[in-house]
Amino acid sequence: MRIISYNVNSIRERLRAVRRIVRKYEPDVLCLQETKVVDDLFPRRELLELGFADVVVAGQKGYHGVAIASRPRIDRSWSHAIGGNPEKRHLAIEVHGVEIHDVYVPAGGPLPDPDRNPAFARKLAFLTALGRWTERWPDRQSKPRILVGDLNVAPLEHDVWDHRKMRRTITHTEREVALLETVRSALPWVDVGRVFVPPEEKLFTWWSYRAPNWRQVDKGRRLDHAWVSEALRDQLEGYFVAKEVRGWKKPSDHAPVVFDVKV
C-alpha cells in the first residue's frame, strides 16, 4: 500500500497539483492537511474521478482542515478533538485492518515563548494532549497503525538546515522536540523517514516561500512525518520526499511524503 501525506495549503488552490501527484505517484491512500475549506465545498467528486473509492473530510472555512482519500473501501472513519481543540486537525480511517491517522499540528506563531505568544502555548498544549491520547490507545504493541501529517516540528539535528542557528526557532526548540518525542514514544511509533534516510543525512519536506531560490540555498526543515506502529516496522518497503512537487507552478511550501508498506 502506498501512502502519501501532503500539506496542500488549500485544496482548491492546489487541486491541479493534487491531480498530478495522484497520476504520477499512484497512492492507495492520500492524506491531506491544511485543506482550508468547509466540508460541503471540498472537491470530493474530483478526487473520486481520480480513482479513489472513498473520500472523508474534516474541514473549516479558510483555516486548517484534513482529508483522506482511499482506493480501498474505508471500513470506518472518525475524527478527534485533540485536547478539546475545536479546530479540524485530526482525521482517521481504517482499511484492511490498519488504522491511518492524519494530523495537522498548530504552527505556533513566530515567538517561542508560551507566556508571550498564545499560539505557541496552544501548540505545546496540543502536542501534550496528542501524546496523552495516543498513550491510552488499546493494543498499542499489536495493532497496525499509521500516523502521518504536518507535525510542525523538525526534531532531529539534520531535520533543519542549521541546527545551531535554529535551536531558538519555532519548530526546532527544545520544548517542541521533547514533546514530539513524548508523542512518538507513547505508542511507540517508528519514524519511517529515518528508517530509510540515516539521521546524519539532511532530510527536508518544507522550504519557505520567502526564498525564491529555495532549491539552491536548500534551507529546509522536515516538518512532515510518517510514523508506523511496531507491528508494521518489518512491512515497510520504501520512502521518499517528492521534492520536485515543491518546484511546480503555484506550489505549496511543503513537498509530499511518499512511503510504501505491505499490508
Mean of pLDDT over the chain: 97
Whole-angstrom distance, CA of residue 118 vs CA of residue 114? 6
Residue 78's SS3 state is: strand
pLDDT at 37: 98
Domain housing 116 = 2-261
The count of structural domains within the chain is 1
Q: Are strands 98-104 and 145-150 parallel, antiparallel or unpaired?
A: parallel
pLDDT, average across residues 78-83:
97
Q: Write out pLDDT tens, residues 37-72.
A: 999 999 999 999 999 999 999 999 989 999 999 999
Q: What is the CA radius of gyration of the chain?
A: 17
Structure letter (DSSP) for residue 73: P
φ, ψ at 47 (rounded to 5°): -75, -40
Q: Dig out the grid coordinates for 158 from the structure.
A: 539534520
Q: Is 90 exceeded by the pLDDT of residue 141?
A: no
Q: Write out pLDDT tens, residues 182-193.
A: 999 999 999 999
Q: Is 90 exceeded by the pLDDT of residue 79?
A: yes
pLDDT at 249: 95
Q: Write out pLDDT tens, residues 9-41.
A: 999 999 999 999 999 999 999 999 999 999 999
pLDDT at 83: 95
pLDDT, average across residues 166-174:
97
**pLDDT tier for residue 140 given thresholds of 50, 70 and 90:** confident
CATH of the domain at 179: 3.60.10.10
pLDDT, average across residues 218-241:
98
Whole-angstrom distance, CA of residue 20 vs CA of residue 22? 5
CA torsion, ordered 102, 108, 113, 116, to nearest 10 deg: -130
Residues 6+ apart with CB under 8 A from 156: 194, 199, 222
Share of the chain above pLDDT 90, in %: 98
Q: Write out pLDDT tens, residues 194-227.
A: 999 999 999 999 999 998 899 999 999 999 999 9
pLDDT at 27: 99
Residue with cell 499509521: 146
